[in-house]
Structures are given as C-alpha cells and as structure tokens.
Amino acid sequence: MSGDSKIGPVGGVTRTTPVRKLAGGADTASAGSARATSTGALPGAKLIRLASDLASQPPPVDAARVASLRSAIIEGTYTADAKNIALAMLRYAQGRTE
C-alpha cells in the first residue's frame, strides 16, 4: 500500500497511487483526472454551485393565472371540479404525472 497507510484497504481494494492534493498541492493521482475548468473550479464544484444558485431562486409563478384565480374566488365564480381533483390526487399518489 503505497502513498497513504492511514486509509488502508477500502472494499478489498488498496490504493496504488498517492492521494491527490487539490487545495494548492501539485501532487495528482494521474495527469488525466478531474481537470479544472477555465474558472479554476472542478466540474463537481461547478455543478454544486449551479444547483445551489437554482435552489436559492424562487419557484416560477404565473402571476396572471394567480390573479385570475384570486379574482374568481373573491367574486364567487370559481368552481372546483371534485372529480378532476380526485383523479389528479390518485395519479400523484401512484407516481404518475400525466
């Protein structure tokens, strides 16, 4: 076991190359592994940052649709179709989105 005797075998496989140093170190396990992007961030880090940015945004809302439903409810002209609502709930519970 060359490189890192502190880790030991993992799942019956031993490490044959030294551990890569990503934070400022020059040692890498191989020349072709995990290339940095043009911004310097690893692809995984870039995806995590993108996912975080998307999660911080509010969900998309059709403001015109919300306003029309709100006014229909206030005016008393909105009627709910119980059969369609029940069918949609069943489809959702079964994991279907159609």
Residue 69, in any domain of the structure: yes
Residue 53, in any domain of the structure: no
Decide if 70 contacts 63 (C-beta within 8 A).
Answer: no
Average pLDDT of the residues of the chain: 74
Residue 29, in any domain of the structure: no
Residue 89, in any domain of the structure: yes
Q: Which domain holds residue 80?
A: 63-93
Residue 57, in any domain of the structure: no
Does the structure show a pLDDT above 50 at 86? yes
- Overall domain count for the chain: 1
More confident residue, 79 or 34: 79
Q: Of all helices (H) and strands (E), which one includes residue 45? A: helix 43-56
- pTM for the whole structure: 0.35
pLDDT for residue 45: 86
pLDDT for residue 88: 93
Residue 42, in any domain of the structure: no
DSSP state for residue 10 in the 8-state scheme: B
Residue 19, in any domain of the structure: no
Residue pLDDT, tens place only, 28-46: 444 444 454 455 557 888 8
Q: Of all helices (H) and strands (E), which one includes residue 88? A: helix 82-93
